[in-house]
Amino acid sequence: MATIEYRNVKKVFGDDTVALEDFSLKVEDGEFVVIVGPSGCGKSTALRMLAGLESVTGGEVLIDDEVVNDLTPQERDIAMVFQNYALYPHKTVRANMDFPLRMMGIEKEEREKRIAKTADILDITDYLDRKPKQLSGGQRQRAAMGRALVRDPKVSLLDEPLSNLDAKLRVEIRAEMADLQEKIGLTTVYVTHDQVEAMTLGHRVAVLSQGRLQQCAPPQEIYDHPANLFVATFIGSPRMNVFKATLGRENDGYTLSFGDHILPFQSGRPGDDTDQLEELIDKPVLAGFRPEAFCPADEVDESRRIQGKVENAEALGHELIVYFDAGVEIHLPPEVQAREKDESRRGKQERALVARLPSARPPKSGDDITLGLNTDQVYLFDPDGRAL
Amino acid sequence: MKSFLKHLVVALAAFLYAGPILFMVVGSFKPDADVLAEAGSIQALLPSEVTIQNYVDVFERVNFGRFFLNSLFITGSIVIWGLFVNSLAGYAFARLQWKGRDALFLLVVLLMILPYEAIAVPLFYQVSLLGWRDTYIAQILPFVANAFSIYLFYTFFLGLPRELEDASRVDGAGTLRTFFEIVVPNSKPVFATVTIVTFLFFWGFFLWPQIVTSGERVRPLPVAIATFHTLPPLKWGDILAFGVMMVAPVLIVFLVLQRWFVRGIASTGSKG
Amino acid sequence: MTQPPSQRHRFRRRFNRPAFAGPVMAVPGVLGLLLFIAIPFLTAVALSFTNLRMGSPLPTEFVGLQQYQRIFADEGFRRALINTVLFAAVMVPVQTVLALSLALLLNQELKGKAFFRTVFFMPVVFPMALVAVIWELIYAPGPNGILNSFLDLVSFGTLGPVDVLHDPALALPGIMLLSLWQGVGFQMVVLLAGLQSIPGVLYEAAAVDRAGKIQQFLHITLPQLRNALIFTALVTTILAFRVYAQVEITTRGGPVDATTTVMYETVRTVFDRQQVGQASAMTVVFFFMVLAVTLIQRALVKQEREIA
């Protein structure tokens, strides 16, 4: 059991490629922390520095309050599961698991006992004597976990361990992993680009972008109180709708105007500071609404409705996702925009708002649509993306 | 019809190509007098009389066993030590970060274009000064480190997935352990290629042993057959028998491991 | 990590840092190259400016470019240079075309393909010294010799018996032929691998575009094989420059210097005449020939990469 700490860690590749900047994070004993972010954000680098596979350019990495910057991987007592599993192809699963134990100088009898026990926990006893090539994707994944767990390490690190599995298997093993960590209580750092994995597995989630830590908090808090525009738009699927807006006052409440729309809103969200709202009046802000802030028109009074043209609708059975154009320019941070392009979401142009609605008959594209908007669920950001 | 023609052309070419080999093998089993006499007729390949007298003669006239073992010892030493030394260097260049690495690697690449012939003279002078003429060591030591082998290992190791070595280091293995227990078992193709290329080259190496050896004690096969074929009385049957015994082991290994030979040679082409 | 580090433990900890392990692992190889390749070569350059003779009682002196002047004035060495360049100039195109033809032939639907490939490749495992000896017998003079009987057969008796190795006009071609026999398999295998790595879609696309076999060869096969061809040409050139064993065994440079080569002259100079200084100058000339060919090859490959 151990704690992990990054103190103002910096990593520079070559002469000037900054992969990580001023990164600080503390992982408590037995905690499961997920580092999530788009590709190239520095999350794998952070993990590899912890493992000792990359040198530390600046700052300190600590395991159990001991600075480990200059220790080689084998001096750190950590286990790691790699994206492609990195099982030794010329060794059987048993020999793969035996390898770290042998390196620790453990007696043969004890090694066999530990392999048997770990194999039993992971349910891989039946193919201990096979080579990695003879295993399915899921079995390989388990074998890789086995090799990491068998040595009973201080810390276990996982680098995108599920990304090579098909969707169904991923969900299955994800659940098993959560159970397993709960049972063993191992300090774990898990790196992924998949926000669903992050939200379901982590005690806390650290969101990383462009080499900087954006926020680290329990999943619900990340979702409810994103620290900035990046976190707000990166976490959540479909992603948050963000656009330029202006705050105004009307009678004893406030209004939010964007595009051609002016909607009333009260400072309804808990923790909102009314004094701060006063200061924002007539200043440009960014307003964000999660897709579930929309609802069928008849659930709200007329002043909180919004009209648009349907671009695309996806009926998912239990819910209905509608993309529609309400003449509002969507504003996204560049990293998130890049991801949207990667995933090539067609029909979800810059002007499309996304709404998540109860299951209903899907509208056709081109149809006019009127939806309600719970303006009280607004997230406000200053033009630089900081949460207000 | 076209296909038949194609087969005919290939078969004819193959026959012409295999001719000298068949001629050597068949000739070595003929009475010595028949070798030249029957060379011009079909009997060159279909002997009227079969004998192993030529083989007996070779052993009676020269110390063939000695030459064979010399060749085996010299070539084997170069290959085995070479695999060791050059793979370690290739790995250090491909995967480890250290001061001066890039400058030294440039040197290796530059030395690749220097054939042994270009250094034979000064090396001969050096070896003479050291008093190493007519020794095994003069035939082995200078050829263990090989720039081309280092380069072949280097390119192969660069292409290996890095994760395996990362995993091994995290599992607690040091640099050498990682190399010998994880990297080497996953690099069989390059070890096979280097073994084959090096072995073939030094099994047939002629110029250097010819100038550096004088007695029979450390003389390898290529020099031995050159000497033997000028040794009176001139008996072609014996010379062919010598040749068969000289090439047979390599030929058998080649036929058994043909796939590796062909792949190994072809891969040197894509690396050059 | 808690027990006191023993001497051995400390060494292991240090060794496991790449900055330390790297040089240690590279040392045997690099040291070997320095001691037995780099330093001898530099020695050769230095010695080429002296009159060093092994076993000579005269003191060694710096003689400037005298050795170079002397070798270029020497009839034998000039002949050797011409022969060597001629050897390469003939061998490279002939061997490449032959190897390419065989590779193309074996790259088709063919029964017993593996067998034929084996046959063509087999001479590659033969030591050159043995090849030279076998071919000396094949070239045996008199009407009974294999080559002469063969010539007689294919020419219906019009081509008389020849004595290849003792005829000044035929000796060098004779050595070329035996070198060709031994070397062609190597190139064939490299080119065959190159052919097999050409994506089949290219040919399908060309067939759709109604390109004929010849056009396919000119516009797909040759460009795709370019680097493999440059490589085999380079290897053949350098092998041609290095020709020694064949000459030493079959003709000893004769008749009348008809087959002498740069390497053969160099060895004779140092071995028979103990003229280390002069032989070193020949070595340096030899090196520059190899260097020139290598630079041309690099330039051709680089040019290709820039176009692509």
Provide ipTM, 2 decimals.
0.89
Q: How close B203 gets to chain C, by Cα (Å)?
A: 7
**A-chain residues within 8 Å CB-CB of B164?**
86, 88-89
CB contact under 8 A, C118 and B124: no
Q: Give the nearest partner residue to B169 out of A53, A84, A90, using CB atoms.
A: A53
Q: Is the pLDDT of residue C272 over 50?
A: yes
- pLDDT for the residue numbered C3: 45
**A-chain residues within 8 Å CB-CB of B166?**
48, 51, 53, 73, 80, 82, 86
Closest CA to A157 of A42, A77, A78, A61: A78
**C-chain residues within 8 Å CB-CB of A75?**
1, 13
Which one of C137, C155, C239 would you mutate to disrupt binding with B, by most B Cβ within 10 Å of its Cβ? Answer: C137
B-contacting chains (≥3 CB pairs under 8 Å): A, C
CB contact under 8 A, C118 and B119: no
Q: How close A234 gets to chain B, by Cα (Å)?
A: 29
- pLDDT for the residue numbered C7: 61
Q: Is the pLDDT of residue B272 over 70?
A: no
CB contact under 8 A, C126 and B40: no
* pLDDT-derived band at C5, boundaries 50, 70, 90: very low
CB contact under 8 A, B250 and C125: yes
Q: Give the nearest partner residue to A100 out of B166, B171, B186, using CB atoms.
A: B171
pLDDT tens by residue, C173-202:
999 999 999 999 988 988 988 888 888 888
How far is C-alpha B182 from the chain's CA centre? Answer: 28
- For residue B196 the two structure tokens come to 């084959």
Distance CA B159, CA B187 (A): 10
> Judged by CB atoms within 8 Å, which residues 214-243 of C form the interface with B?
228, 231-232, 234-235, 238, 241-242
Under a CB-based contact definition with an 8 Å cutoff, are residues C238 and C292 in contact? Answer: no
Q: What b/e readout covers C272-295, taking b as 16+ CB neighbours within 10 angstroms?
A: eebbbbbbbbbbbbbbebbeebbe
Beta strands A253-258 and A241-250: pairing type? Answer: antiparallel
Closest CA to B262 of B163, B196, B185: B196
CB contacts < 8 A (A, C): 6
Q: How close C300 gets to chain B, by Cα (Å)?
A: 13
Touching check for A149 and chain B: CB below 8 Å?
no
Closest CA to A177 of A133, A146, A204: A146
Under a CB-based contact definition with an 8 Å cutoff, are residues C136 and C165 in contact? Answer: yes
Under a CB-based contact definition with an 8 Å cutoff, are residues A320 and A314 in contact? Answer: yes
**B-chain residues within 8 Å CB-CB of A78?**
170
Sign of CA dihedral A160, A164, A170, A174: negative
CB contact under 8 A, B169 and A90: no
Q: Is A25 helix (H, G, I), strand (E, B) or coil?
A: strand
- pLDDT for the residue numbered B191: 93
A-contacting chains (≥3 CB pairs under 8 Å): B, C
Distance CA A132, CA B164 (A): 13
Query: What strands lie across the sheet with A294-296, from one edge to the other?
Result: A294-296, A368-373, A305-315, A319-325, A352-358
Q: Give the nearest partner residue to B166 out of A82, A104, A151, using CB atoms.
A: A82
- pLDDT for the residue numbered B77: 97
Closest CA to A38 of A189, A208, A169, A179: A208
Distance in Å from the first CA to the final CA of chain C: 54
pLDDT tens by residue, C6-54:
566 666 666 777 778 889 999 999 999 999 999 999 999 999 999 988 8
Distance CA B188, CA B259 (A): 13
Query: What strands lie across the sheet with A32-36, from one edge to the other?
Result: A78-81, A155-159, A187-192, A32-36, A204-209, A212-217
The whole-chain average pLDDT of chain A stands at 86
Percent of chain C residues topping a pLDDT of 90: 34
Tens digits of pLDDT across chain A (388 residues): 689 999 999 999 887 888 999 999 999 999 999 999 988 888 999 999 999 999 899 999 999 999 999 888 888 889 999 988 999 999 999 999 999 999 988 999 999 999 999 999 888 999 999 999 999 988 999 999 999 999 888 899 999 988 888 888 888 888 888 888 888 888 999 999 988 899 989 999 999 998 899 999 999 999 988 999 999 988 888 888 988 888 888 777 788 888 888 888 765 554 555 667 777 788 888 888 999 999 898 888 888 888 888 988 888 888 899 988 888 888 877 777 766 665 545 445 566 888 999 888 888 888 888 999 888 888 888 888 888 7
Sign of CA dihedral A172, A173, A174, A176: positive
Q: How close A76 gets to chain C, by Cα (Å)?
A: 9
Touching check for C13 and chain A: CB below 8 Å?
yes
CB contacts < 8 A (A, B): 62
Distance CA C97, CA C124 (A): 17
**B-chain residues within 8 Å CB-CB of C35?**
142
CB contact under 8 A, C25 and B44: no
Higher per-residue confidence, A351 vs B253: B253
Q: Which helix (H) or strand (E) holds A324?
A: strand A319-325
